[in-house]
Amino acid sequence: MFAKTTLGLAALGYLASSVNAHMMLNTPVPYGKSSLSNSPLMNDTSDFPCKLRPGAFDITTMNTIPVGVPQPLSFIGGATHGGGSCQVSVTLDKEPTKNSQWKVIHSIIGGCPSNATGNLSGNPAGTDASVFEFSVPKGMPNGQYTLAWTWFNKIGNREMYMNCAPITVTGGGSDNSVFDTLPDMFVLNIAEGQCQSVEGEDFAFPSPGASVETGALAVPGSSMRGSGCASVTKLGAGAGSAGSPAVPTATSAASYAASSSAAATTTAALTSSGPAATGGAVSSSSDSVVTMTTTSTVTTTASSVSSTSAAAISVVPVSSEARSSGASAASGYPAASGFSRPSDFARPSGTSRPSGSYGSYGTQRSNSGSGNSSSGSTGVTSGSSNASSGSTASTGSCTGGRVPCTKLDEFVCIGNSEFGICEPDNCATPQPLAQGTACTNGNVQKRSMRIAQHMKGPHLRRMYGHL
């Protein structure tokens, strides 16, 4: 009864403050900002994707994103609807259609765009929602394409929000091999009477990808109701063909150069080890900053991972470039707070996570191996459930399904269907590869074609604060 009452009060708060105060993307700067409304997608799919409308793909600011460099994900609005779950996805199309194929590069389970109960405020221009970080995986093709933020709210009407932004990716690869390994964007709540999420749950995506964070207050669940789920949820796959990214045009380059200094400041803050160009400080050693390594180019399937400690292992050193630290979020953005691995993913007894530069492992973003729709959880890191309390490094043998390794940050093949990254305690956690790929001799291969050699992404760092 108490839970129902609490949910009811949250819903009343939602009704009181969300009439004119939904949410929309702030950074990266979206397409058609002057015509973009803060409302969700229509429930007849007519404006899918990207809230189609006149001027939907007008570019006011080109967001230039180097691969592997953390970028801020921030929002405008006060009606956060109790939070929910979000994804950051990309398509190689400049002006996406229903046939466009979207691939997930980051998933957030719970607490997005805020972990506040109900709504933050009724202010449609508010900027108090949490700020998250994402990175474009190394190896993604260079060129101009489209990024999407999608959101499934926790409280209120069953809705899907989708804002899109133009991006120019630099420092990447020349083909789609990495793009092809990523999971498709998940779609829900946009067809009248068909396939809806359940109010009060933070939707746990069946295939969240390799870069995932879970809110400390999240109530993960993968329940769906209504007909048509088999077709609705696959709308993110489009026609199943990625196409090719466009070569950046002179117009888009000029637009980027003439845009507000905020975009340049963000890039500077994220790549500099000192103060940002506008004076915003970038912390590099504060106790409020924690780091961890993530694999940005290897994705997962929805299947569970079985522990395998006796599997054959092959290793390949990771380049020094991949081991460099990313920068923290630009100063001036309120950092997301209260994120940790949920308790049901606690590391088995007898194992631990090193302290020092890794900070408190229980309060940093997680690197998910697989989703688990049957249990409503997200399968953080791998099926072997590898979380910790932030204690000192283990000096004993590897436990909990992890396997021994010899060199920090080595890429480890565990059999041919799993991989791991060698951690400071000389153990690697098994993580599943995307369907259709295999790990052989330290390389990830797809369809008998080598697609990646050094699959370790950059260190991700974030600053924690409170709303």
In a domain, 271, yes or no: yes
* Residue 270 token pair: 């994220």
In a domain, 163, yes or no: yes
Taking only the tens place, the pLDDT of each residue in 115-152 is 777 777 778 887 878 899 999 999 999 999 999 999 99
pLDDT at site 114: 84
pLDDT over 90 at 266, yes or no: no
In a domain, 420, yes or no: no
Smallest CA-to-CA distance from 421 within 303, 318, 297 is with 318
Q: Which residue has the higher pLDDT, 240 or 318?
A: 240
Region 264-290: mean pLDDT is 32
pLDDT at site 84: 92
Identify the top-confidence range among 78-92, 98-112, 265-279, 286-300: 98-112
The CA distance from 70 to 420, in Å, is 22
Helix or strand holding residue 164 (H, E): strand 161-170
Contact present, 140 and 344 (Cβ < 8 Å): no
Band of the pLDDT at 45, cuts 50, 70, 90?
Answer: very high
C-alpha distance from residue 400 to each of 345, 409, 427 (Å) = 12, 19, 10
Angle (nearest 5°) at CA 426 between 423 and 429: 55
pLDDT above 70 covers a percentage of the chain that reads: 55
pLDDT over 80 at 73, yes or no: yes
Q: Which residue has the higher pLDDT, 158 or 457?
A: 158
Band of the pLDDT at 205, cuts 50, 70, 90?
Answer: very high
Q: If DSSP codes are grouped into helix, strand and coil, which group holds residue 151? A: strand
pLDDT over 60 at 328, yes or no: no
In a domain, 402, yes or no: no
Band of the pLDDT at 77, cuts 50, 70, 90?
Answer: confident
pLDDT over 90 at 383, yes or no: no
Residues sharing a CB contact under 8 Å with residue 220, sequence separation 6 or more, in sequence order:
109, 110, 201, 202, 203, 204, 214, 342, 376, 377, 378
Helix or strand holding residue 250 (H, E): helix 250-258
In a domain, 442, yes or no: no
pLDDT at site 224: 93
Smallest CA-to-CA distance from 329 within 201, 217, 461, 164 is with 461
In a domain, 49, yes or no: yes
Q: What is the total count of domains within the chain?
A: 1
What is the extent of the structural domain holding 290? 1-305+326-396+461-467
Contact present, 270 and 70 (Cβ < 8 Å): yes
In a domain, 455, yes or no: no
Q: Which residue has the higher pLDDT, 245 or 26?
A: 26
Q: Which residue has the higher pLDDT, 375 or 106?
A: 106
Region 235-258: mean pLDDT is 65
pLDDT over 60 at 455, yes or no: no
Helix or strand holding residue 170 (H, E): strand 161-170
pLDDT over 80 at 188, yes or no: yes
Contact present, 92 and 244 (Cβ < 8 Å): yes
Region 204-227: mean pLDDT is 93
Between β-strands 132-134 and 71-76, what pairing exists: parallel, antiparallel or unpaired?
Answer: antiparallel
pLDDT at site 418: 79
Contact present, 162 and 25 (Cβ < 8 Å): no
Taking only the tens place, the pLDDT of each residue in 82-92 is 889 999 999 99
In a domain, 296, yes or no: yes
Contact present, 424 and 398 (Cβ < 8 Å): no
CATH at 114 = 2.70.50.70
